[in-house]
Amino acid sequence: MVLIRRITRLALLLIVIGGTAILAAQQAPPALVTTQEISEGLPKDGSRWITFGGSYTNQRHSPLTQITPANVKGLVPQWTFQTGTLGNFETTPLFRDNILYVTGPQNVAWALDARTGRQIWRYRRELPSDLTACCGLVNRGFAMLGDKLFMVTLDAHLLALDMRTGTIVWDATLEQYKNGYASTIAPIVVKDKVIVGAAGGEFGIRGFIDAYDAQTGKRAWRFYTIPGPGEPGNETWAGDSWKTGGAGVWVTGAYDPDLNLLYYGIGNPGPDYHSESRLGDNLYAASLVALDADTGKIRWHYQFTPHDVHDWDSTEVPILADLTIAGQPRKVVMFANRNGFYYTLDRTNGRIIMAKPFVQTTWAREIGRDGRPVLEAGHTPDENGEITCPDITGGTNFWPPTFDPSTRTFFVNAREACMTFYSWKPDYKAGERFTGGAGQRYKSATMPVYGALRAIDPTTGERKWEFKYLNPSTSGLLTTASGLIFSGDNDGNVLALDSRKGTLLWRYQMGANLHGTSATTYMVDGRQHVLVPAGTTLTAWALPQGQ
Amino acid sequence: MTWRALCVVAGWFIVSSAWTNAQAPAARNPLEGDATAIRSGMGLFRARCADCHGMDARGVRGPDITQIWASGRTDDGLFTTIKNGIAGTEMPAQPRLFEHETWQILAYLKTLAASTRSDPQRGNAENGKKVYQANCVGCHRVNGAGGRLGPDLSRIGAARSREVLELRIRGGVEGFLPGYEPVTVTPQSGTAVVGVKKNEDLFSVQIMDTRERIQGYDKASLKEMQDNPRSAMPPFGSNRISESELDDLIRYLQTLRGFDPSVIQ
């Protein structure tokens, strides 16, 4: 009898242990990150953030609704993480299974406990002292697949790190940094490949987009953003100018699994400002390209700014959506360009559906029916200078926009600014800056300098509302299904607004501005968190426990 | 910010140790007289220096720099000034400027250089100091003494041309330096406070009032905030400062080349 009771107890205990284990297993996601999980992105499960734009569409629109316009004022900080590193965040942190994976300046990276902000591991790359990165020793984030994280480096490598320890699994060289190459882009994983690009448009590089095998680090394909001799488009570069034409790739693109196409914005042609050094349209600089994700072959391109002479990289973040336009379902890619125009393109073929200025533009009157800008005279820089709007930084830039599919609204932090552009003939020397000019901010009564968060109807280009800033903002954007939009101004305030009306609902002075990236959101233990990288700190916010 | 003010201010107070890179610059400009370098230097100068120093380098907000060699400056000293800027002035450091680009700017500037100083040295500095004490000291500070509402003038002689100083004193200039934009804030309860803006964002403003009290205000708590179109500095016409007094005053201001606050034990 005693034996039977003992056996019964043991059985019960095993059932309890087993049940607990099953429950734990059910609550924890699979140990390995899958391509299906990435492909499903935020629309399927807003509790995590596992790829740069939240999903392949780059919509940065979270389905989470715990934090609302009515309660956002109650947000309280949960923790702040300090990098202890010189330089500022431009990263989109990834979040999965209660852990944050964060890249920082100078190629330092961390895994953090998202409950407390405490470090689990830290990775730091030994960088050479003679880097050529033009615009800050920054990094824009990880990609993840399986048990690996992928991160590019300022000396133009791609690393795979062990997600649990931060140690290097493999290290692939993209190009020689001494020749002007660097990399700052957040990779994305598509199927079994890691997609990256090289920066260096100010250093006479020949830009490219690469795909690497996620398991081995072996290069699967390369797409040169400047066609070589014999390839279509090479004739758009006079003489040998294609060899040093720049066209870097430093901002993450989008991916359409149904069409199996990658969409990447391409940087400026080089030398940036000197027209005569590279006569022609200069393909595929200042363009959006659609590439076959398996082969890297180009399917179509659209050049926003043929023969750009104002440093208007088209390295803004493309957003994909399916819209009904004029009664027809359309697969579109939305793009607010540094040149001051907003575009809605058919993403199956690259044809323009709609294009309209979203800031003051003096260089082009409109986008013609042939898709080319209708130019205004007098906007080629020379030694005496010419005034053009937008300025070098552009109507917007690499900070991510967002799209709310429920209201069909595209949001962008826009800049109103003009500049006197100067140009002169430069000499090319490998690894040295090769711009052939510079610019000086121009301000007048008719050309004031300010910024605004603008809500745009992507079917018409009409502005639904705007929220003005004192100074142009360089913050990315996040929307949520509850009707919120998170932004930041250039004075260090992080802001939450009603995404339908543009009214300000909440703010906090961070002491540094959200720059080049946005807030992200995810769930920790049933509570929605909002994460803000600003300056050298990462701060997580949530509503108080029990609300 | 801030390609506004690159180039050169009289930099006799820059010590050579300020050159922080391992190697010192060449004693002489290796690109002097090089036509291509001069052309590139012109573009760089116009884009990055001319806003303060003028398209002809004869000074706007920054000083006339056509006479820097005539005043005894050397190529390597000027190279260091461009590269490192001048601490405590509007002249910024240029960490991203390549060495050859700095030499290109100097190669171009050399083509504009006057062989001798042309600035008339008229006026009596001793008298000028008295004019200063009578009219300016209430709002401006020199070498640790004086008011704080206006900009510190301890280095004004190295930072402004004679023409700009004259225009400013006579009231012919209405631009405001950051930190000195005139403003009036009116709290919900209380009287209007007049001062200059030290900082501002969408939601708050930080000011120094005319009693030199520094204070921040939440804009939402204010009845009104008004940017004043005119400078807090009144114009000093010839009825207040005569032409000869003006010469004296400017001569005195031109002697102000920096303040050493170190204490000798």
CATH code for position B216: 2.30.30.100
pLDDT (tens digit per residue) in B119-175: 567 899 999 999 999 999 999 999 989 999 999 999 888 788 888 899 899 987 767
Do B98 and B35 share a structural domain?
Answer: yes
Rounded Cα–Cα distance for residues A31 and A44 (Å): 18
Helix locations, B147-213, DSSP H: 156-159, 162-170
Shortest alpha-carbon distance between residue B263 and chain A (Å): 33
CB–CB of A424 and B48 under 8 A?
no
Indicate whether B9 belongs to any domain. no
User: How are strands ordered across the β-sheet holding A61-62?
Assistant: A61-62, A478-480, A484-488, A493-498, A504-509
Which residues of chain A have a pLDDT value below 70? 1-27
- Residue A253, chain B, CB below 8 Å: the answer is no
Q: Do B47 and A439 touch (CB under 8 A)?
A: yes
Q: For CA atoms B236, B241, B243, B246, give the dihedral sign.
A: negative
pLDDT above 50 for B2: no
Is the Cβ pair B43, A433 closer than 8 Å? no
CATH number at residue B22: 1.10.760.10
Contacts of B40 in chain A (CB under 8 A): 424-426
Q: Does A71 touch chain B (CB under 8 A)?
A: no
Structural domain contains residue B80: yes
* CA pair distance A434, B213, nearest whole angstrom: 49
Using CB atoms, which residue from B36, B40, B202 is nearest to A469?
B202
Contacts of B101 in chain A (CB under 8 A): 433
Question: Is A424 close to B40, i.e. CB distance below 8 A?
Answer: yes
Phi, psi for B99 (deg, rounded to 5): -60, -45
The one-character DSSP state at B262 is P
Q: Which tokens go with A109?
A: 């990276």
Pull the structure tokens for residue A184: 């700052």
Whether B62 is in a domain gets the answer yes
Q: Identify whether residues B39 and B83 lie together within a single domain.
A: yes
Q: Considering only CB atoms, which chain A residues are within 8 Å of B36?
A: 425, 427
Q: Residue A53 carries which side chain, given as an amino acid letter?
A: G
Nearest to B48 among A383, A384, A438 (CB): A438
Contact in structure between A47 and A480 (CB atoms under 8 Å): no
Say if B8 falls within a structural domain.
no
Q: Tell me if A440 and B51 make a contact (CB, 8 A cut-off).
A: yes
Which residues of A form the catalytic set? 311
A314 part of contact set with chain B, CB < 8 Å? no
Residues B137 and B185 in one domain: no
Q: Does A170 touch chain B (CB under 8 A)?
A: no
pLDDT greater than 70 at residue B106:
yes
Residues whose CB falls within 8 Å of the CB of residue A208, separated by 6 or more in sequence, listed in order: A175, A197, A198, A222, A223, A224, A225, A249
The residue-averaged pLDDT of B72-87 equals 89
Please tell me if residue A472 touches chain B, with a CB cutoff of 8 Å: no
How far away is chain A from the Cα of B47, in angstroms, using its nearest Cα? 5
What's phi and psi for A195, nearest 5 deg?
-105, 125
Q: For residue A420, which residues of chain B lie inside 8 Å, CB to CB? A: 47
Angle between helices B243-254 and B125-135 (to 10 degrees): 100
Considering the domain architecture, whether residues B94 and B194 belong to the same structural domain is answered as no
Q: Read off the pLDDT band of B220 (50, 70, 90).
A: very high
Q: Which two tokens stand for residue A266?
A: 């391409």
A473 in contact with B, Cβ within 8 Å? no
Report if residue B5 sits inside a domain.
no
Number of other residues whose CB lies within 10 A of the CB of residue B84: 19
Residues in chain A closer than 8 A to B181 (CB atoms): none
Query: Could you tell me if B257 and B9 are in contact, meaning their C-beta atoms sit under 8 angstroms apart?
Result: no
Question: How far are the Cα atoms of A60, A67, A76, A205, B138 from residue A526, in angstroms, in the given order?
Answer: 21, 12, 16, 48, 62
Interface residues of chain B, partner chain A, Cβ below 8 Å: 3-4, 36, 39-40, 42-44, 46-48, 50-51, 98, 100-101, 200-203
Kindly state whether A118 is in contact with chain B, defined as any CB-CB distance less than 8 angstroms: no
- Among candidate residues A241, A249, A227, the one with its CA nearest the CA of residue A280: A241
| Residues B51, B146 share a domain | no
User: Contact B180/B188 with Cβ under 8 angstroms?
Assistant: no
Helix (H, G, I), strand (E, B) or coil at B69: coil
Report the C-alpha gap between A411 and A286 in whole angstroms. Answer: 21
Shared-domain flag, residues B91 and B170: no
Q: Which one of A272, A491, A507, A509 would you mutate to disrupt binding with B, by most B Cβ within 10 Å of its Cβ? A: A491
For residue A424, what are the CA distances in angstroms to A307, B47, B78, B112? 16, 11, 23, 19
Same domain, yes or no, for B33 and B106? yes
- Chain B's closest residue to A492, CA to CA, is B201
Count of structural domains, chain B:
3
B103 in the same domain as B201: no
Q: Find chain B residues with C-beta within 8 A of A384's C-beta.
A: 46
Tell me which residue in A384, A433, A507 faces B203 most closely, judged by beta carbons: A507
Chain A residues with CB under 8 Å of B3 CB are 438-441
> How near does any CA of chain A get to the CA of B10, in Å?
23
Ranges A527-541, B54-68, B104-118, most confident: A527-541
Query: What is the distance between the alpha carbons of residues A202 and A244, in angstroms, rounded to a whole number?
Result: 10
Nearest CA in chain A to B104: A426
Domain boundary, last residue among B58, B84, B112? B112
B158 and B240 inside one domain: yes
pLDDT of A2 reads 55
Interchain CB distance below 8 Å, B46 and A441: no
Segments in chain B forming alpha helices (H): 35-48, 50-53, 75-84, 99-112, 125-135, 156-159, 162-170, 243-254
On whether both B105 and B32 belong to a single domain, the answer is yes
Query: Is there a single domain that holds both residue B190 and residue B241?
Result: no
Does residue B136 share a domain with residue B218? Answer: no
A155 to chain B, any CB pair closer than 8 A? The answer is: no
Q: Which two tokens stand for residue A522?
A: 């995810």
Give B60's contacts in chain A (Cβ within 8 Å): none
* Stated pTM of the model: 0.87
Q: Which domain holds residue B220?
A: 181-227
For the stretch B114-131, pLDDT in tens is 766 555 678 999 999 999
Interface A:B, Cβ pairs < 8 A: 58
Top pLDDT among B228 and A3 is at B228
Q: Let me know if residue B196 belongs to a domain.
A: yes
A432 interfacial to chain B (CB closer than 8 Å): yes
HSE value, Cβ hemisphere, 13 Å, CA-based, for A542: 20
Nearest 5°: CA angle at B161, between B155 and B167?
110
Contact with chain B for residue A376, Cβ under 8 A = no
Instruction: Note whether A424 contacts B43, CB cutoff 8 Å.
Output: yes
Q: How far is B200 from chain A (nearest CA, A)?
A: 8
Per-residue pLDDT at A8: 58
Please indicate if any CB of chain B lies within 8 Å of the CB of A313.
no
- Identify all chain A residues contacting B43, using CB atoms and an 8 Å cutoff: 383, 422-424, 437-438
Determine which of B45, B201, B219 to mutate to test the interface with A (most A C-beta atoms within 10 Å).
B201
Q: What are phi and psi of A544, to 5 degrees?
A: -60, 150
Structure tokens at A320: 């994909």
Which one of B42, B46, B102, B183 makes the best mutation probe of the A interface by having the most chain A beta carbons within 10 Å? B46
B29 is a domain residue = yes
Domain boundary among B71, B88, B112: B112
Q: Six-digit token pair at A282?
A: 């200069």
* Interface ipTM: 0.76
CA angle A351, A355, A359 (to 5 degrees): 150
One-letter amino acid at A455 equals A
The chain B residue lying nearest A443, using CA atoms, is B51
Are B47 and A438 within 8 A, CB to CB?
yes
A470 and B CB contact within 8 Å: yes
- The last residue of one of the domains, among B112, B143, B161, is B112
- Alpha carbon distance B4, B80 (integer Å): 18
Chain A nearest CA to B20, separation (Å): 15
Nearest to A520 by CA among A172, A93, A24, A67: A93
Inside any domain, residue B119:
no
CA nearest to A498, candidates A384, A386, A409, A389: A409
Instruction: Read off the tokens for A166.
Output: 């931060």
Element (H, E) at A44: helix A35-44
* Closest Cα in chain B, distance from residue A271 (Å): 13
DSSP assignment letter at A471: S
